Structure 1
Amino acid sequence: MRYEILGGLRVVASDNVWTVSARKMETLLAALVIRSDTVVSSDELIHEIWGEKPPRRATATLHVYVSQLRKLLARHGSGGSQIITRSPGYTLRTESDQIDVLLFQGLMNDGRSALRTGRLEEASRLLREALGLWRGAVPYELREGPIVNAFAAWAEQARLECIDLSVDVDLELGLHHELVSRLYTLVAENPLHESLYRQIMLALYRCERRADALAVYRQARSTLNRELGLEPSRTLQELHQSILKQGDRLALPAAV
């Protein structure tokens, strides 16, 4: 059985994919998946599900939800209860390959290690595989409690970090032509993430599209100024100047 939370929460068992339709039970399972193999206290789970205004019999209702989740997991082939009672609450017992976010972290770390040792093709493959696990952002309706909300914020930053690494590796591999359309999409989705502007400007310059690279800088400056009242970072400004001067440092490394 595999739990996937990089997108809407779902459970995969053999060839079957299912979701929890009851919102409060979905929130409970999401919190347990995020904190898998660690104890989440009943108080934390109650706060996650009901916020500052829990019902009078919140603890008893939580027990009912846990019981129902256990039955659901057993029905879909968990091979025994994976939700274990551990004072002062509960823990979801899993293996590292049963949760997509743990697989993502492992692939990203392996990709970073491959990059550090110069194995660029391997790094590119691992980082793309990590990003392939993403189905979308954590739905906003699940973000009402601190556990899921904090996870959603962390997950988005981790995804952007992985994208940055993946694109930088592919630029080192000379895949600038293949990257341009992907980077335009990423910039549109993340207009305040400056690394993407740097990467698309470099890719366009290496594709002999100098005017387009300069237009991207103007777009970045306008967006950052309008949304944040800021000028582009020094790195982006220096890249802009190098493109204007057609600096040699922008060319691909000789080994590539």
Structure 2
Amino acid sequence: MRYEILGPVRLTRGKSIEIISAPKMQVLLATLAVRCDQVVSTDQLITEIWGDEPPRSATSSLYVYVSQIRKLLRHPGAQHSPVQTRPSGYVLVPGADQLDLHDFTRLMKEGRARLRNGDHETSVRSFEAALALCRGPLPTDMARGPILQGLDTWLEEAQLECREGLMEARIALGQHRELVGDLYLLSTEHPLREAFHRQLMLALHRSECRGDALLVYQRARRTLREQLGIEPGAALQGMQREILRDNGNFALS
């Protein structure tokens, strides 16, 4: 079985997909999965499910949800559920079961390591595989507590890191012309993320669009000054200097 929490929560058993539609059950399973092999206290689970103002019946309702989750996760013929009781709360012990969050983290680390080693083709495959696991944002009513809020924040940042690494590897493979449109979109959606501006400048310059590349720098500089009161960082300034020297054979630093 596979727990999938990088989007609407669901379980997969071979080719069978079971979507967890009840919001509180989604929160419970996602929280236990994020902290798998770690005890999550009853108080923590109540906060994740109901926020800062739980009903008086929260503890008894939690027992019901845990019972339902146990039935859902129990393997045919197994005596015990992966959700186990501990003195202070509950723990998900997945055993041989898989978790998409773990696969995403592994693939992201592989992509990062391969990019550092100059293995750009396998780096691309690792980053693309990691991003393919992300089926969309968590449902808006899920992240009431710090555990799932933390997952939501971390996942957004991790996906951006994967996209940065993917763009860098593909540029190194000579795909700069194909990436210009994607990088324009990424730099517009994330205007304070200097890496996307830097990569767009490089892709444009290698596509013989030197003037457009310098315009990207001016736009990024203006945004950073207006929104944060700062100048572009050393890497972005260095890209501008390289382009002004009209050297199209440099690499991303």
TM over 0.5: yes
Q: SS of the residue aligned with 2:202?
A: helix
Q: SS of the residue aligned with 2:156?
A: helix
Task: Map 1:1-256; keep pairs closer than 5 Å.
Answer: 1-74=1-74, 81-95=81-95, 98-247=98-247, 250=250
C-alpha change, 1:130 and 1:118, in structure 2 (3 Å) is: same
CA RMSD of aligned residues (A): 2.6
Q: Which consecutive residues of structure 1, in runs of 5 or more, have no partner in the other structure?
A: none
The sequence identity of aligned pairs, in percent, is 47
Relative to structure 2, which stretch is displaced further, 77-86 or 229-238? 77-86
Residues 172 and 251, structure 2, Cα contact 8 Å, conserved in 1 = no
Over residues 106-133 of structure 1, what are the superposed CA-to-partner deviations in whole Å (9 max), with x where a residue is unaligned? Answer: 1122223323333222222222211221
Q: CA deviation at 1:41?
A: 1.0
Relative to structure 2, which stretch is displaced further, 217-226 or 198-207? 217-226
Residue type of the alignment partner of 2:41: S
Q: SS of the residue aligned with 1:224?
A: helix
Q: CA deviation at 1:74?
A: 4.2
Distance 1:194 1:220 in 2: 8
Q: Which consecutive residues of structure 2, in runs of 5 or more, have no partner in the other structure?
A: none
Residues 115 and 123, structure 2, Cα contact 8 Å, conserved in 1 = yes
C-alpha change, 1:96 and 1:206, in structure 2 (3 Å) is: farther
C-alpha change, 1:90 and 1:226, in structure 2 (3 Å) is: same
Residue type of the alignment partner of 1:119: D
C-alpha change, 1:135 and 1:35, in structure 2 (3 Å) is: same
Distance 1:27 1:150 in 2: 13
Q: CA deviation at 1:228?
A: 2.4
Distance 1:26 1:219 in 2: 42
Distance 1:236 1:19 in 2: 44
Q: CA deviation at 1:75?
A: 8.9
TM-score normalised to structure 1 length:
0.88
Q: CA deviation at 1:79?
A: 9.1
Q: SS of the residue aligned with 1:90?
A: strand
